[in-house]
Homo-oligomer: A and B are copies of this chain.
Amino acid sequence: MVLKTRTYHDPLHGAITLDRADPVEALLVELIDTSVFQRLRRIRQLGPASLTFHGAESSRFTHSLGVMAIARRAFDRLAAIYPELGDYRAAVLCAALLHDIGHGPFSHTAEEVFGSHHEHWTAQILELSAEVRGLLDGFSADLRPEIHQIYQHQHPVPCVWQLVSSQLDCDRIDYLMRDSYFTGASYGQLDLDRIILALDYDPASQQLIVAKKGLGAIEHYLVVRYFMYAQIYNHPKNLVATWVLEKAINQAKKLLSAGSLKADATMAAWLTHAVDELPLDRYLAQDDYVLHYHLQQWQTHSDPILADLCQRFVNRQLLKATDISHYPYLRQMEILSAAQCQAYGLVADTDIYVGLRHIRNRGYALYQQGIKLKTPDGLTEISQLSPLVQTLIQPCHRTWLIHPAELPVAEIL
């Protein structure tokens, strides 16, 4: 009996036990053991956010296990009530486990910097990774197509993809809980039990819906999401770290094409090609270790801009962000010009060291079919029932002036 189970002790979900006597769970164990999945250990969940919230050091590996664990709880409870869902267990759990397998270095940060898309690579891995494809096809010929359908929101039973990827999916639930736990932002704590109990299935439309008495739990989840974005994910120091990284990579691209940069084959390929068009092996060879290794090496490069940007990133001597959201657009442009004038002579390139970053933050959006509640009058969009959610739809905009800490920007505001 002991040999037939594999247990992961998770700080959030406790013991996640997979039972290898169950064919679906045996498959999950084998998927976890592939080198492609193990690679997620080398990709930080929140990219450079640990420079701001020092506890945010956990990986996509950890998060992916958590999403699968939540999906199993939610799915198994619904399937016990609605046995017609039972056939989709393998697809839901594999899709939950593998949803982030295509992520690159620093997760979303690299996507911004390199213009890549992890969803593209997740799909590619299903097709082209011999390990992963072999396991899925060995289980059932239908499984791989079904997982694709889930990721493309085209599965004939909407509930199946909604559990994995929607406004109320197991992915979001896990990352909010996990990022709250690791950053110590206790306002991010969710009431997972109440959320799971709030989830229901509507046989008529085959959608994942929310039971009316679960409204409060879901309102709370959406508010927490808003707070986590406002306070953690969009923290100005994160914007600045991404800015510095982006400028460093752009500078590295220039130097490489000019023949004056050392980079290994993986890094060189990433700097010279559209990343989403690379061969799979080249894509997978990149991760936090490879990227960060190069940044460390380039700290002593002869190009002063590249060297400086890499030192700033590696040693956390970042630029500063000053909130100028309360000024009108034209005034913001003037401030930018004035700051670049101030910076002239102080920095090697004012466009690199001084700039604007605009972010838009909202807790809820109506795309992806939103979230439906079961009311006596049928299914109703949650934002029509909750003034709080209605408020969260309004985006909150902020504009930051990014500049070196020593620039006296107070003078021009």
Contacts and interface: CB of A to CB of B under 8 A. Distances in A.
A293 B267 CA distance: 12
Given A10-B184, A62-B55, A290-B296, A216 B230 contact: yes
A315 interface: yes
A390 interface: yes
A230 B311 CA distance: 41
Contacts of A38: 314-316
Given A187-B191, A193-B14, A219 B227 contact: yes
A114 interface: no
A264 interface: yes
A11 interface: yes
Nearest to A35: B315
Interface of A: 1-2, 7-12, 14-15, 17, 33, 35, 38, 41-42, 50-51, 53-55, 57-59, 61-62, 65, 81, 181-187, 189-194, 196-197, 200, 211, 213, 216-217, 219-220, 223, 226-227, 230-231, 264, 285, 288-290, 292-293, 296-297, 311, 314-317, 326, 376, 387-388, 390-392, 394, 396
B2 A211 contact: yes
Contact of A264 (B65, B186, B297): B297
A57 B58 contact: yes
B185 A191 contact: yes
A118 to B, nearest CB: 20
Contacts of A196: 15
A227 B192 CA distance: 15
Given A50-B41, A391-B387, A183 B11 contact: yes
Given A9-B183, A55-B58, A187-B191, 12 more contacts: A2-B213, A8-B54, A9-B185, A11-B182, A12-B184, A15-B193, A38-B316, A42-B292, A182-B182, A288-B289, A290-B293, A290-B296
Contacts of A223: 223, 388
> Which 6 A-B residue pairs are closest in the complex by CB-CB distance?
A11-B184, A15-B193, A35-B315, A293-B293, A14-B193, A391-B391
A14 B184 contact: yes
Given A227-B216, A293-B290, A57 B54 contact: no
